[in-house]
Structure 1
Amino acid sequence: MKLDSGMLMNEDITVQLKRFITGEMYGLDMKLVIQKTLFESDLNTTQNRLNMPIKQLLTRPHEFLTAEEIHVVNESKEGIEVRVVGPAMQMYKRPLRLKMWHMKRNDNYVLKTNWNNFVADNKVLEKHKKIQVWSFRKHRQLCFAIVPVERPDAANKFCYSC
């Protein structure tokens, strides 16, 4: 799968992720929401959020959010609770919250609340690491999966048990 960044998603990771979500988790409707590089601001513990600029989304909001979810995410102070699968192919124990931040020049979706804990528990999420964020539904609840992107010329295979 070639994306605009010139990076390739390791097909093994894609297959494993889809198998886990659709097979073991009985998840439905997987969509690639964004591929992005983790910046210092995404990992800064004082900010406690993953920023996903709307202009960089690979899937339109109405394709992975219901009309009601769009309204709540855009208008409510808290946003909506979501569950997240991490790089180790496990549902993270703590929920995160999806919220819209309206900025002067850009609107951004953010995954917040427990983001710092998620990063601390998933050490492969480092500055300058490319990740993909996928959406899916489990029992109609919105969930996300966050996985690193591996360059095809990387010497080491990605380790899901790390």
Structure 2
Amino acid sequence: MKKFAELGLEPPPHMPEVFRSCIQDMGGTEIKLVIQKFIKVTDLYPQQNRMSIPLKQVRCEFLNEVEKEKLSRRQAIQVVFVEPRVVVSELNLNKWDVGKTSSSYVLNGPWHKNVVKNNGDSSKPTAVVQIWSFRVGTNMQLGFALVKVRDGEQH
């Protein structure tokens, strides 16, 4: 959090209107900021093929009880995903244990193929991104939006 404050990003900026409009056009509701994070190199590796959301950094509760139960049984949840270029796709949400002391949610599936390759400067180490959750449709399907807040560094 201190690093974000030094960058002038704490409190986090609001969701840009273009994302809010995209979500609302899909009938999306319950928009919540889940996490603001620095992109890690491991979020970009094709072999990893995932974006991590460390549980210790999650800012709000965004899962319902059914989703929590599915994830605890190691079952993936298919989610709607709004990419940084404001294109809607689908990913999977999983929960992974990292060692014995921490866990992360992970967005995966076609993460590297679709999101990293198609979103250029949003996909550089040290870029600051926000992941927002929302609900869409009559079944209240879980969705996420990935918003770039600050460019990353070239490596």
TM-score, normalized by the shorter chain, greater than 0.5: yes
For the 8 Å contact 1:36–1:131, the answer to whether it is kept is yes
User: Would you tell me which structure has more strand in proportion to its own residues?
Assistant: 2
User: What is aligned with 1:101?
Assistant: 96
Deviation (angstroms), 1:111: 0.6
TM-score by length of 1: 0.80
Does the alignment pair 1:39 with 2:40? Answer: yes
Deviation at 1:72, TM superposition (A): 0.6
User: Over aligned residue pairs, what C-alpha RMSD do you find?
Assistant: 1.8
* Alignment deviations for residues 50-93 of structure 1 (CA, whole Å, 9 cap, x no partner): 11100001112xxx1110001111212x411112001111202x
1:85 is matched with which residue?
A: 82
Q: For the Cα contact (< 8 Å) 1:10–1:150, is it kept in 2?
A: no
Identical pairs, percent: 33
1:83-112, CA deviations, whole angstroms, 9 ceiling, x for partnerless residues? 2001111202xx211011122121110111
In the TM superposition, what is the alpha-carbon distance from 1:119 to its structure 2 partner?
A: 0.8
Question: Given the two structures, how large is their TM-score scaled by the length of structure 2?
Answer: 0.83
Structure 1 unaligned segments of length 5 or more: list them.
Answer: 152-162
For these two proteins, the number of residue pairs brought into alignment is 141
Matched with 1:155 is none
CA contact (8 A) 1:74 1:99 kept: no
The structure 1 residue matched to 2:21, chosen from 19, 22, 29, is: 19
Q: What residue in structure 2 maps to residue 55 of structure 1?
A: 56
What are structure 2's unaligned runs of at least 5 residues?
Answer: none
Closer/same/farther in 2, CA of residues 143 and 15 from structure 1, 3 Å limit:
same
**C-alpha separation between the residues in 2 aligned to 1:114 and 1:80?**
14
